Structure 1
Amino acid sequence: MSSSYGKNIKLTIFGQSHSKGIGMTLEGIPAGKKIDFEKLDRFMERRAPGRNAFSTTRKEADKPEFLSGVVGDITCGTPIAAVIMNTNTRSQDYDILKDIPRPGHADYTGFIRYGENRDYTGGGHFSGRLTAPMCIAGGIVLQLLEEKGI
C-alpha cells in the first residue's frame, strides 16, 4: 500500500494513530513561498478531534512541528517535513479488539494486508488521525492557490 500521492506535488504521510507521532513530507513546493502559520493553524482546527458531537472524543493539539523545507515562514524548495506528536493514546483499550475487526473501520483490511504484524491500536495507519498530516499539506497548497487567485 502506498502512502504517497501526487506527481508534480507529492505528499507522503507516515505514522500510526498510536505511534509517537504522525506526519508528512511535501515535495514540489517552490522556494520563496510564504506560509502563513496562523492561517494554517485555523485550517487545522477545522478537522481537529474532539471539537463536535460527531467526532472522536480523543483530544489532540494537532500542532505541526516543521522539521525541514521551511526557514522561518518561507519555503526553501526542499521537501517540507512536518510531524504532529500523539499525546492522547490509550493503546491498551484496543487489546480486546486485536482479533475482532470493527464494523466501519479498516481493521479487517489491515489484517488481510499485514497479518499479525499490523498495528491494530486505534486503527493504526488506517486511522482518521492520518487526515491531520493531509490537512497540513492541504493548508499549505491552499495558500499557494490563493496566491494565484484560485
Structure 2
Amino acid sequence: MKVYSKQSVQKVNASVEECWTFFSSPRNLQKMTPLTMGFEITDFDGKNMYPGQIIQYKVSPLLGIKLTWVTEITIVEENRYFIDVQRFGPYTLWHHKHFFEPVENGVLMTDLVHYALPLGFIGRMLNALVVKNKLKEIFEYRAEKIKEIFNS
C-alpha cells in the first residue's frame, strides 16, 4: 500500500480562540468545501468536536457519484490541534491532522493528511491522474474561503 501525504500551511489573521471556535464546529465544514464536491452532512450529533465523535457525509468527488464518508474525531487538544480519521469511505487510509499555532498577528494553521487508495496499481494511477489534483483543488478552495472569512 502506497501512502501519500498532502500538507497545507496558512496564516490566519485571527486569534487561536477564534480559529478554534470556527474549526471545531463540524457545521462549518460545508463552508470550506467546494460546491462541486456535493458535500452534505447526513448524520452528526450537533455538538462541537470531541474525541470519539462520528460525522457522516455524502460527497460526490467524481462524475457526480455519491459516496458515503464516515469520519471519527480521534484526538482533540483545544486551541492546539485535532485529528480526524476516515472510518468508512473512498480511501484505504485517511488521517488528517489540523494544527493551530499562535504567531505574531494571528495563527499559523497547518493541515497534514496521510492517505492511501485501494486497488493497488490502479489506485496509484488514480492518485497520479485525479486524486492528487482533486485534493490540491480542495485545499486551494479552502484557503480562499478562510481568507474570505478571517482575512478580509
- Under TM normalisation by the shorter chain, which class is it? 0.3 to 0.5
Q: What TM-score, normalized to structure 2?
A: 0.41
Q: Which has the higher strand share?
A: 2
Q: What TM-score, normalized to structure 1?
A: 0.42
Larger radius of gyration between Structure 1 and Structure 2: 1
